[in-house]
Structure formats: structure tokens, C-alpha cells
A = this chain, B = another copy of it.
């Protein structure tokens, strides 16, 4: 067998540097042109490889893994449309700030744009989505090119991680022969920097706001009694405590998105509002809650009623904290965009505020009491009315809060599940971590993302709608091949449940064809093909037992919760109406606060 020695030296140096840069996992899809990287990656003792045949699923599998582990995961595929299949995951990684390192093999220059097989134009294949794109040099074994390839490896990993994290794409042209000399790799791995040091250490500094500017913000806030803190999707474990301290100091309520990680955890929940999505649907309530200032952390929350509430008060000062220089303000009403590290920002602000002579009263303001009362009323109604003998999608999240062990991770599908999570997943003292693909909010790739996450955390429960489950059925192969442990709860209302809530639903002529889109699929077949357990539950008792069983079992379990789109919508409307009715009765009391 002819091996390619210069290529081996180049590729082995690259892989060595990835390992030194703490890349521990690579998701590989089979192909010929990618052979040099695939074989050397497989040979490296510190790198684990995961085979995933469908590159679209592979992309999301890597995304979920990177998200859960908070570290760079690499992807490798061959040339051609294989690489194009990564595109949805690359887009999601960019928008949700997940560090992915995409490695694509390519034909060398002389075989490009000349009708050679599996040769497509891979230069900037993903457009502006990658944070960095490099068309790699052809493999050479010169001293200069080994420096080059080690440097690129380190830059690629550190660029993917640096805030905002995101995808980096390296395109590798390879000439035949494609077989590396694996026996030569180990000596090459000894040739890097001594003591396993990285070839180049890249350091980024934290962004800390200048004291003078911070104090200016603090002075403004001190004057504003009617303030709000809004925490959107975020996964910084240190944020909860810092924000709670800030809220406490300012006497502001915290509106916590279900993906903010603030509804669960050991921190105080006293000021955390988890029912706003329901009560901000009431116009009387919205009118009575005129804010003077809003401080936002994280991405924009899921709740549409919250969005409309913010837009109702265009004169309100809106301060957005974003460590990563984004512009996450679809209201277009931000008055202050502050690019700074949020935990440090909160802590420093609290220190400043608490040291001021005109320190804010520790006593709860009426403004705060009002929010807390509205939330308590809503919480009671939703918990009471959200429970029914029939299977109901929203109730699943009420049940899960009680059923899951405190260290569980919940992965939640887009469209309806994430919205039900918002309404029905309430404050709790567990340590649940809640993840979702909220960069582009796609229903694609969610199964694979959750499976990728399941390699890092356990137990993991995915709640997903039937169309989204269908979209990524291929993802289930990873569960079979790697014996991954996951519980998938599928809301099966046979179609696109969310559309029943939209004006499109009123068009009877085309609604089912264009939006309802029932598939009539019995997922038992496909789950059994992937050697999973499939249970279609017909009662809450069975649901509870099966969730508990599954969490204590190995492998793939799919629990189908059969529901009906129309009655599901009716049930939601009934609950929101019950909240509104109750609030109408209580508004005098609330407003008298």
C-alpha cells in the first residue's frame, strides 16, 4: 500500500495541534477524499471519533455535543454535497454561538471546475456564516508548512471559541495517494512543543466596563423604581446568582425565559417571574405595568406577549448587555447597548449601588409586589388548569418538573414545545439545564442535537413535536450505533400544531394541505428499526411510569404523547382565558398596591 509521507507529516501535525488545543471529539462522515484526516484522527489517542453517515445529522450531533460540553467539536466529511449538508448546522452554530470546527476535504486545484467527480466549489462554501474560513495549503513536509499547519489549527480552535463562539471552516485539498502512514504519526506527535504545550497560546481578555461608565448606569437606575430585568436564553452558570443579587439591590423583578437557566438552580427564586407569557396577554395588565427601564441579558426571550409588552412602551429605557458584541434587539428600541461581561457587570453594579449614600430601600416596592402578585395568581391558575385527565402537551412540562431527577438536562424542540416550556415549566429548586436550538429556531436537526448533548450529560430528555422528530429521524442512527441514553418525548398531533394558533388557521380551503400537513406516520416502526423502545402512552399514569423507567434505563426510549391539534389549541386558550378571568377579578387589588 502506497502511503503519502509529506501528507502524513502535515496532517499529523495538524491533528496533534487539535488535540493539544483540547479538541476531544470529532464527528466523521464516511468518504474517500477525507481519508488522510479520518485515519490520523482515529489514530490519535486523545481524540474520540463518532461516525455519522448523514452529514446533516452529523452537523447537528456535533452542535449538540459542543453546546452541552461548552467546547469545540470538530466535523469531518469528504468533498461534494456531503459538505453542503452541514449548512443548516453551521447556520445554527453561528446564530447560537456554538464553537464548531468544520473540516472538509476537497479535490486539489487541478481537479476543480473541470467536471471531476464529487468536486464542487468549496471556497467559502458557507458564505459569511463561518467566523473564519481557510483554504488550506496542499500538504507539504517543510519546516515552514508544519509551522503553518500547527498555527492554523490553534487559530481555528481559539477563533471558534472566542466570543461570540461559532463555526470555523477549514477546507483541505488532498492529492492521491490518500493513505497516511499511521506508524509515522506518533513520532510526529512528539515533535510539537515540549510538555504537551500548544504551538501558540491564544488569550482573549474579558470585557470589563470602565468604572465611570458603570457608575453612570448605576446612578440612572437608582432613580428608576419601575425597572425590569429580563433574562433571555443563556447558558452561563454564574449568571443566575449575579442577576439575582442585582435584582435584589434594585428591587426589580426578573422575567426569566425558560432557557435563561434561572428558573432552576440553587439561587433564590423570590424575584423570578416565570408566568409573564400568560399574564402579559391581558391588555389591562399590560397597561398597568408601565416600566421606566429594562435591563436585558441573553438572547431575546421566546415569549411573544413579552415582546409586544416591551414594544408597547417605546419611551422606556432599554439596556442590553451582550458580552459578544451582538445586536439582539428585534424591538429596535434599545437605548443602551453595553458590550461587557455580564457577571462582572452585575457584581460591580451591586457593589456601586450598595455603597451609595442614597441606597435604594431594601423593602419591596409596590411595583415589585405587583409583578409578584400577578405571577403568583398566574402560576396557581396555570398549574391548576394545566392539569387534565386527557393528555395535553403543556402538562408534560408540569409533569417533568416533578418527574426528572434534579441533575437532568432537558432538550426542547422548537415551534410548540419551546412555547409550552415557557408557559408550563415553572420555577423549581432542581438543577435542570434546559437547552434548545434557538439560533435560527429551526425544527431541523433537533434529534441529533439532543443525541450529541447526551454524550456529555445524563439523564437527557428531549421533548419534540412530530414534524421536528420526523425531520431528523436519521439522527436516531447515532443512538443505535453508540448505545446513547436518551428519552425522547414526542408530541404527536400529526402535523404542524403551531399553525392552529396563527391567522392561517382560518383559511379552511388550504389549511390542512399547506400548514396542518398531517403525515399519518406510526413512528413505532422507525424507532424499532433503530433498536429503541417505543411507547405510545394513553394516560398520565403510564406517562409517568414510562418516563421514570426510561430515565433509569439504558439506550433509546421514545415516548409518544398522542394529542390533537384542535383540542390542544382549545386547551391553551382555555388556560390563558382562565388567567385573564382571574386577573380581571384581581386587578383592582393589584392596582391598589
Contact = CB atoms under 8 A, between A and B. Distances in A.
Contact of A127 (B54, B115, B124, B474): B124
Contact of A503 (B2, B55, B124, B444): B2
A445 B84 CA distance: 12
Interface stretch (A7-15, A234-242, A260-268, A519-527): A519-527
Contact of A114 (B51, B328, B525): B328
A530 B473 CA distance: 13
Contacts of A30: 467, 496, 499, 514-515, 517
Interface centre among A42, A503, A509 (most CB of B within 10 A): A503
Interface in A519-574: 519-523, 525-526, 528-530
A48 B502 CA distance: 25
Contacts of A502: 32
A444 B81 contact: yes
Given A114-B328, A120-B95, A299-B115, A514 B440 contact: no
Given A42-B513, A442-B118, A519-B481, A178 B503 contact: yes
B115 A499 contact: no
A340 interface: no
Contact of A82 (B82, B90, B442, B509): B442
Nearest to A34: B514
Nearest to A523: B529
B474 A474 contact: yes
A128 interface: yes
Given A81-B440, A332-B114, A474 B477 contact: no
B81 A115 contact: no
Q: What is the interface residue range for chain A against chain B?
A: 35 or more
Given A30-B514, A56-B85, A328 B115 contact: yes
B81 A88 contact: yes
A514 B91 contact: no
A95 to B, nearest CB: 6
A441 interface: yes
Contact of A87 (B87, B328, B521): B87
Interface in A107-154: 110-111, 113-121, 124-125, 127-129
Contacts of A480: 519-520
Q: Chain A contact residues: over half helix, strand or loop, or mixed?
A: loop
A549 to B, nearest CB: 23
A515 to B, nearest CB: 6
A6 interface: no
A191 interface: no
A116 B95 CA distance: 11
A35 interface: yes
A300 B115 CA distance: 6
B504 A35 contact: yes
A327 B481 contact: no
A179 B503 contact: yes
Contact of A330 (B115, B127, B514): B115
Interface string A31-66: 010010011001100000101011110000000000
A520 B127 CA distance: 37
A129 B91 CA distance: 17
Contacts of A471: 53-54, 474
B514 A42 contact: yes
Given A53-B519, A81-B444, A442-B80, A114 B327 contact: yes
Given A30-B499, A39-B510, A51-B513, A440 B504 contact: no
Nearest to A496: B30
Given A38-B514, A39-B514, A114-B327, 10 more contacts: A38-B510, A53-B519, A80-B442, A82-B444, A117-B441, A119-B330, A179-B503, A179-B504, A521-B530, A525-B526
27 contacts: A1-B507, A30-B496, A53-B467, A53-B470, A54-B471, A80-B441, A80-B442, A81-B91, A81-B440, A85-B444, A91-B120, A110-B332, A113-B327, A114-B327, A114-B329, A115-B300, A115-B328, A117-B441, A121-B129, A127-B127, A177-B503, A178-B504, A473-B474, A480-B519, A481-B519, A525-B526, A525-B528
